[in-house]
A and B are shown apart, each in its own frame.
Chain A
Amino acid sequence: MNSFFNNFFWFVEGIFVCLIFIGFKRWMKNRGVRMTIWKWILFAAWLFLSGFTIAFITTSIGEGEDRAALMGGIIFGIITIVSGVGIWRALNIKGKVSNER
């Protein structure tokens, strides 16, 4: 990737990450979940792990290492899903929707 697209990519990616955080905050508020600093850290770590898994798979495919993509997808994918479920429970996200808008 040339340097312009590299820089531009991270600029756009940064906007997307901001939108994810803003959206997540609003969603949690609607569901009546009070976000503490530790919950935010957990969420950010899980977001990083998800990004890592996707990037590992696609980078390995681009590199021509199909086996690495498959193995990485399975191992990191399982870790991502299991930790996602754990964080979901840790955040105590229930079906209840708050009246506060």
Chain B
Amino acid sequence: MVNKNSCSGLDRRDFLKISGAAGAVLGTIGIGIFGYESGKDPLTYTGCEGLQGIAQNFNRGRFTIDGPPHERVGPTERADARSEVIFSRFSRLMRQWNDEKGIEGLDDVLKKYYKDHPEDLEIDLEIRREIFPKRMSDWRKYYKQFILAEAWSDAMGSVWPPGIHEAPEKSDFPRGPRYGEPRKPYKMKSAEKTSRLIKEMAHRFGAALVGITRLNPDWVYKYPMPGRGFDPEKRIEVPSHWEYAIVVATPMSWDPMYANPNYGTSHDAYSKSRIVAYRLAAFIKKLGYPARPHTPGTDYDLMVPPIMIDAGLGEQGRHSVVITPELGCNVRPAVVTTNLPMKTDKPIKFGVEEFCKSCKICAENCPSGAISSGDKVVVRGYRRYALHSSKCHNFWYSNLGNMGCRICIAVCPYTRKSNWIHKTALNITANDPTGISHRILTMLQKKFYSGPDPKDYYIPSLGGKNASYRKPPWWLRTEDFIEI
């Protein structure tokens, strides 16, 4: 019996035939696509999965902006690395401080800084007066718990290309044929091709993310960090060959990062980013162009986060760390400055600014109170979120395990593994101009992914419990491997 469909005039047999034929065609196409994808899948390059730019998989094109990504509100000023970078200021203070002479015993640079920021002096001195002694006492009691974490961190930081101690006019340029480097730069075919080549090389050298921008001189330090070949008391004249900045970034290991502040380390990504930047500089010099790496830990002549933003890798978060779509803020960047002509990337806006306005999870979870819950402030002519670096730095010495903290990175809703839950949340927030999803997801984040009370992150002598945001991975649990 033939069942005629009154609407289409199609009987069941015809329908089945057409469906079967369509299924066969679509199935064949599907198998073809499956086969092609399986054949070219980068994950099949066993052992080299991370060296092919697979991590940089966010479609930035839809989120690029043409204007500058930083809100300039007045005359700008460059940062003085001698006093405004906490590492320089603190080591300088420790060398010069004398209880009897007080602030008058400091050099002019520190004297001026602390007169302008009197609250920072007390906070910086707190490390020496209170935190160091208590930390030493707690270290003797509890250090065994962190033996594996420390060993792992030291091992990751043990491969560390030596720093550059010469001025740019000497160190940046190819040294000529005697050293296997050309006397004159090779003529590149196009800026687009060069840009593509440099990015591919950066990935093959180990970068998870790479972006290129023109260097804004505002991001170069006014006075240098020590040991970079500059006269420490002389203002830096930005070298004319620092036209472009290539930013490379690598993530810290995810599981220890979630177990901050005690078990994570910055050394793993510092070492990787440093190696990538040095390799990239060597590659560029082989093409005959000058190149200078600016790398972690403190071998910089410039501020990296705003350059990272200019290069389209991410946006600044409330915690001042750059948030990338792929890795959240679990990134450690490095920069290579050069005059190799390249096509630059555009900055992106993918919802971070709006999200950070209402989220505030990092501020609520910061044990030191260094992250503000308030609005942006003007810093050297730009409106931005500002981190209280003295408070942040103090907490580095107020916990055991590996140096540093990184809790703001671990708790940030953007710093999540690349699974379907978090990728979906990222895509929703990036495409929601109303901000409704931001508030819903922030609420879920607070309920679902809460951590210890921020006070518990401190050492016991400072009122804490040696807490970590998450448990350490099995391979960092000393008590499971060593008799203690």
Contact = CB atoms under 8 A, between A and B. Distances in A.
Interface in A11-31: none
B421 A59 contact: yes
A67 B450 contact: yes
Given A60-B421, A63-B417, A64-B470, A3 B38 contact: yes
B449 A3 contact: no
Q: Which residue, B417, B419, B448, B470, has most C-beta atoms of chain A within 10 A?
A: B448
Interface in B25-66: 34, 37-38, 41, 43-44
Contacts, number: 33
B420 interface: yes
B447 A71 contact: yes
A64 B419 CA distance: 13
Contacts of B417: 63
A69 to B, nearest CB: 9
B365 to A, nearest CB: 15
**Majority-rule SS of B interface residues:** helix
B448 A2 contact: no
Interface residues of A, number: 15
A46 interface: no
A2 B49 CA distance: 11
Given A55-B420, A59-B420, A60-B421, A67 B37 contact: no
B448 A3 contact: no
A72 B449 CA distance: 11
Contacts of A65: 448-449
A4 interface: yes
Contacts of A55: 420
Interface in B402-450: 417, 419-421, 447-450
A54 to B, nearest CB: 13
Nearest to A63: B417
B470 A67 contact: no
Interface of B: 34, 37-38, 41, 43-44, 255, 258, 417, 419-421, 447-450, 470-471
Q: Which 7 A/B pairs are nearest by Cβ-Cβ distance? A: A68-B448, A3-B41, A71-B448, A3-B43, A59-B421, A7-B34, A71-B447
Given A3-B37, A60-B421, A64-B471, 9 more contacts: A3-B44, A7-B38, A55-B420, A59-B419, A59-B420, A63-B417, A64-B470, A65-B448, A67-B450
